[in-house]
Amino acid sequence: MTTINHRVTLARRPTGEATADCFALESEQLAKLEAGQVRVKVEYISIDAALRTMLYGEGYHRQFGVGDTIGSTGVGRVIDSASPEWEVGQAVRGRLGAQTFATVGPKDIAAVDENLGPLSAHLGALGGTTGLTAWIGVRNIGKPLPGETFVVSGAAGGVGSIAGQIAKIDGARVIGIAGGPEKATFLVDTLGFDEAIDYKHEDVGERLRELAPDGLNVFFDNVGGDILDAALDNIALRARVVICGAISQYDDMSAVTGPSMYLRLAERQSRMEGFALFHFKESYAQATAELAGWLADGSLVSPEDIMEGLERFPEALEFMFSGGNVGKLMVHATPPA
Ligand SMILES: NC(=O)c1ccc[n+]([C@@H]2O[C@H](COP(=O)([O-])OP(=O)(O)OC[C@H]3O[C@@H](n4cnc5c(N)ncnc54)[C@H](OP(=O)(O)O)[C@@H]3O)[C@@H](O)[C@H]2O)c1
């Protein structure tokens, strides 16, 4: 059995983009387990947009200290256990960190049911920060009705691709906003959205007016900034604007640009509501059951974008922030050569 853990740590706090030199790859000897501890071989590491917000010294969400292992969520398998609660071979999910082996307490991990989907799906369609987030934002906040127009930004990414499909299952007309012609084609041809807007080459406001002349009933926002303003300018009466995230703002959280078009909310009797998935724990079981059902019957497509090798973790984060990923981005935590 291997005795070395490889891990990605925060080498320095980024100013602006989180580039590869902000991270370090370190190795350490694995110690013998203490009573109660569990050792997990990490298989897949979730690349989440919110990780960027955790690299600041203070502020939004949790923070990582310089020298800390990046505390990302992952899935893996128990390979050693000094806890009566866990057996070798069990598949688990938790904040395993960007590393090849996680040594955790018995309450730091949760079992995943591989009958519902393969390990990677438990970060993707069945993952908290992906499928469950999409489900909660659509079902608990946006609540699209059949025939309503539902628009989602970051539409080809992990959360957006699933949010749009759930709205479609619920009978809405779905328009996705993403960067580049390939992603626009993917939204319509692979995910079954009704329309797509390529924000890198098209004027979002103009396209929304063309595609939704009666206005947007629900806007599910993952991006913020100019795209949020273009959407607000085009909301219908009694629209619901769901603030899931604002990736366009994460590289400089000290200068977040707020929406200048917010008075449309007053004019059109609409509301804007943010949410964080952990406030909706009571929805997890139902969301997981429905998402698993849709995966099983083929009504939900769950694209995954998997990079091979732990050492590519920094590259993966840069890839996401430059819009490289299609679907849920993760790193397969194979050790560096
Ligand atoms: N509220 C919650 O509880 C919760 C939980 C999880 C995630 N989230 C939020 O959900 C959103 C999506 O997260 P994810 O992890 O699934 O990421 P993702 O959508 O898989 O990847 C992010 C995508 O955002 C787009 N993007 C990056 N920089 C951008 C910019 N400056 N302007 C416009 N688009 C940009 C890129 O696609 P393009 O090619 O289209 O640009 C990129 O692929 C994030 O805002 C995240 O913070 C919220």
Q: In a mutational test of the pocket of ligand 1, which residue from 72, 123, 129, 159 has the highest number of ligand atoms less than 8 Å from its CB?
A: 159
CA-nearest of 151, 139, 258 to 194 is: 151
What is the per-residue pLDDT across 46-81, written as a single tens digit (0 to 9) for each? 999 999 999 987 666 788 999 999 999 999 999 999
Handedness of CA 23, 275, 141, 180 (dihedral sign): negative
Name which residue sits closest to atom 15 of ligand 1, judged by CA.
48
Q: What is the pLDDT of residue 49?
A: 95
CA distance 66 to 310: 19
| H-only helix segments in 52-175 | 133-136, 158-169
Q: Are residues 315 and 212 in the same domain?
A: no
Q: Are residues 41 and 103 in the same domain?
A: yes
What is the per-residue pLDDT across 172-220, written as a single tens digit (0 to 9) for each? 999 999 999 999 999 999 999 999 999 999 999 999 999 999 999 999 9
- Model confidence pTM above 0.75: yes
Q: What is the pLDDT of residue 60?
A: 65
Q: Are residues 273 and 222 in the same domain?
A: yes
Q: Are residues 20 and 104 in the same domain?
A: yes
Q: Determine, yes or no, domain membership for 297.
A: no
Name which residue sits closest to atom 5 of ligand 1, judged by CA.
129
CA distance 236 to 240: 9
Q: From edge to edge, which strands make up the β-sheet containing 149-153?
A: 195-198, 173-178, 149-153, 216-221, 235-243, 271-274
All residue ranges of the chain with pLDDT < 70 are 1, 58-60
Q: Determine, yes or no, domain membership for 111.
A: yes
Domain that holds residue 58: 4-124+304-332
Task: Identify the CATH number of the domain in which residue 214 sits.
Answer: 3.40.50.720
Task: Identify the CATH number of the domain in which residue 9 sits.
Answer: 3.90.180.10
Q: Are residues 139 and 272 in the same domain?
A: yes
Q: Specify the number of domains making up the chain.
A: 2
Name which residue sits closest to atom 34 of ligand 1, judged by CA.
223
Q: Are residues 133 and 270 in the same domain?
A: yes
